[in-house]
């Protein structure tokens, strides 16, 4: 195993992307993700074929990503919440043209300009497709600096495998904190890309990368086909971590940094004799529905712990078909719930009995 090094989450994303073969990065400064750009600015010029470009806007950056993605090369951009809103049109185009690319969102509090402290309030934006039209991104939610690296690496493979944009949904804490990381990333998967714009070389028909389709019957067909692909992804790629769920009566749902806080609370609850457990979605889309459906038959109730006004809670309710009560334990606007707050919610839920 490779030696562990201390890295900031944002830097781990950048290094893992380079290891995944990404040689093209386009970005625009915004707190709290700027270290990704800074790291790329330092590294890319030293790597053969490496391109770092600070664009004039998030809009330009995502469209540069769109251009590179169309040539079949691995490419990424990163930003934070307001910047992702600006990129959303471009993300819709990338999805509509079935192109692989990675978008990183190191979330901060909103709406509007909001703040710069960590948040998870872009959950809907990420899992429902932030731009216009019917589409999804594969959304990965790291909960450690190690996962900032490993899920970034995985995101590139998934993007190529399914020909679609993927997203790392992190937050300011994950981006700024340092933890030991092993940069043992595994295999870069390679896929044939006959659709890529590489020049016809006068040997083939021209390739066209395009999302315009003025005949509704055709556009409908494309959408149906794309959703067939999404179905396969929902079947095969949903990931979660289950913590102390074997005999759990109270199940917490939390991702990212909120899951770390929740873990502490679960351990504390166990010390007090309450059978608490945690399901941590690693993929937010596809949502790990099966794990929650299974838990719904066993636990007394669910608590969705979120750094938002309650967004993932809707997916928890859908996945459990509302068989058991689901309550919200949250902070918003850049605040992080404390283990004590989560513990209180667990104690409260445990009093609820078998309603």
Partner 1 sequence: MVVFDKPHALTDAPLHYCPGCTHGIIHRLVAEVMDELGIEGKSIGVAPVGCSVMAYNYFGCDMIQAAHGRAPAVATGIKRADPSKVVFTYQGDGDLAAIGTAETVHSAARRENITVIFVNNAIYGMTGGQMAPTTLPGQVTQTSPYGRDVSVAGYPVKVAELLSNVDGAAYIERVAVNNVKNINKAKKAIKKAFQNQIDGKGFSLVEVLSTCPTNWGVTPEKALTWLEENMMPYYPLGVYKDIYAEEETK
Partner 2 sequence: MSKSCSILFAGFGGQGVLFAGKFLAYKGLDEGKQVSWLPSYGPEMRGGTANCSVIISDDPIGSPIISEPDILVAMNLPSLDKYESTVKKGGKIIIDSSLIGRKVERDDVEVFYVPATELANKNNTPKLANMIIAGKLMKECDVIAYDHMREALAHVVSARHQDMLEVNLGAIEIGYNA
Q: Which does 232 bind (CB under 5 to 8 A by kind): partner 2, partner 1, none?
A: none
Contacts (CB under 8 A) with partner 1, residues 113-172: none
Q: Which listed residue (73, 263, 289, 324) binds partner 2 by CB under 8 A?
A: 263
- 138/123 Cα distance (integer angstroms): 12
Return the structure tokens found at 196. 């890529």
Binding mask 4-33 vs partner 2 (x if CB under 8 A, - otherwise)? x-x------------------------xx-
Q: Which residues of 251-285 are buried (b: 16+ CB within 10 A; e: fewer)?
A: bbbbbbbbbbbbbebbebbeeeebbbbbbbbbbbb
Q: Which stretch binds partner 1 (CB under 8 A): 47-55, 140-148, 317-325, 344-352?
A: 47-55
Q: Which listed residue (21, 41, 43, 67) binds partner 1 by CB under 8 A?
A: 67
> Residue 83 CB, nearest distance to partner 1 (Å)?
15
- 83/62 Cα distance (integer angstroms): 10
Element (H, E) at 140: strand 138-140
> Residue 32 CB, nearest distance to partner 2 (Å)?
6
Q: Is 244 in the site for partner 1 (CB under 8 A)?
A: no
> Residue 303 CB, nearest distance to partner 2 (Å)?
16
Query: DSSP secondary-structure letter at 108?
Result: B
CB 250 within 8 Å of CB 274:
yes
Contacts (CB under 8 A) with partner 1, residues 194-233: 197-203, 206-212
- 169/237 Cα distance (integer angstroms): 16
Q: Which listed residue (267, 293, 328, 347) binds partner 2 by CB under 8 A?
A: 267
Number of residues that bind partner 1 (CB under 8 A): 39
- Torsion-angle region of 306 (φ positive above 0: left; ψ -120 to 50: alpha; else: beta): beta
Q: Is 182 in the site for partner 2 (CB under 8 A)?
A: no
β-pairing, 240-243 vs 276-281, is antiparallel
Angle (CA) 65 67 68, round 5°: 65
Contacts (CB under 8 A) with partner 2, residues 29-58: 31-32
CB 306 within 8 Å of CB 328:
yes
Q: Which does 57 bind (CB under 5 to 8 A by kind): partner 2, partner 1, none?
A: partner 1
Choose between 93 and 285: whose C-beta lies nearer to partner 1. Answer: 93
Q: Which stretch binds partner 1 (CB under 8 A): 57-65, 119-127, 186-194, 264-272?
A: 57-65
CB 251 within 8 Å of CB 297:
no
- 252/299 Cα distance (integer angstroms): 10
Q: Is 89 in the site for partner 1 (CB under 8 A)?
A: yes
> Residue 158 CB, nearest distance to partner 1 (Å)?
21
Choose between 225 and 344: whose C-beta lies nearer to partner 2. Answer: 344
Q: Which stretch binds partner 2 (CB under 8 A): 51-59, 120-128, 201-209, 255-263?
A: 255-263
3-state secondary structure of 253: strand
Tell me the DSSP string of 64-83: HHHHHHHTT--EEEEE-HHH
> Residue 64 CB, nearest distance to partner 1 (Å)?
4
- Torsion-angle region of 325 (φ positive above 0: left; ψ -120 to 50: alpha; else: beta): beta
Number of residues that bind partner 2 (CB under 8 A): 23
Binding site for partner 2 (CB under 8 A): 4, 6, 31-32, 116-117, 172-173, 176-180, 257, 260-261, 263-264, 267, 336, 338-340
Binding site for partner 1 (CB under 8 A): 24, 26, 51, 53, 55-57, 59-61, 63-71, 73, 75, 89-90, 93, 97, 197-203, 206-212
């Amino acid at each position: 195993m490779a030696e562990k090094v201390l890295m900031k989450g944002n830097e781990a994303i950048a290094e893992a992307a380079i290891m995944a073969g990404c040689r093209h990065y386009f970005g625009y400064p915004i707190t709290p993700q700027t270290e990704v750009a800074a790291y790329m600015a330092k590294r890319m010029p030293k790597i053969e074929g490496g391109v770092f470009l600070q664009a004039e806007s998030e809009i330009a950056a995502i469209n540069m990503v769109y251009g590179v993605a169309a040539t079949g090369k691995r490419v990424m951009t990163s930003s934070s919440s307001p910047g992702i809103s600006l990129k959303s049109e471009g993300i819709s185009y990338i999805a509509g043209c079935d192109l692989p690319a990675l978008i990183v969102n190191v979330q901060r509090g909103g709406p509007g300009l909001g703040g710069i402290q960590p948040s998870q309030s872009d959950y809907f934006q990420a899992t429902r497709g932030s731009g216009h039209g019917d589409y999804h991104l594969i959304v990965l939610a790291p909960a450690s600096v190690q996962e900032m690296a490993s899920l970034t690496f995985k995101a590139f493979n998934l993007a190529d495998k399914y020909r679609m944009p993927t997203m790392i949904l992190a937050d300011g804490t994950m981006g700024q904190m340092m933890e030991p990381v092993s940069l043992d990333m595994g295999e870069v998967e390679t896929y044939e890309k006959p659709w890529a714009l590489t020049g016809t070389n006068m040997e083939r028909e021209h390739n066209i990368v395009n999302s315009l389709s003025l005949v509704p019957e055709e556009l409908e067909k494309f959408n149906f086909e794309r959703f067939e692909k999404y179905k396969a992804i929902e079947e095969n790629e949903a990931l979660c971590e289950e913590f102390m769920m074997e005999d759990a009566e109270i199940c917490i749902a939390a991702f990212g940094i909120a899951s770390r806080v929740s873990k502490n609370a679960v351990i504390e609850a166990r010390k007090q004799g309450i059978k608490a457990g945690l399901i941590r979605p690693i993929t937010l889309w596809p949502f790990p529905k099966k794990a929650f459906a299974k838990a719904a038959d066993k636990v007394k109730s669910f608590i969705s712990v979120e750094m938002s006004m309650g967004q993932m809670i809707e997916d928890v309710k859908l996945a459990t078909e509302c068989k058991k009560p689901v309550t919200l334990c949250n902070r918003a606007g850049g605040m992080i719930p404390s283990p004590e707050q989560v513990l209180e919610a667990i104690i409260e839920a445990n009093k609820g009995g078998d309603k």
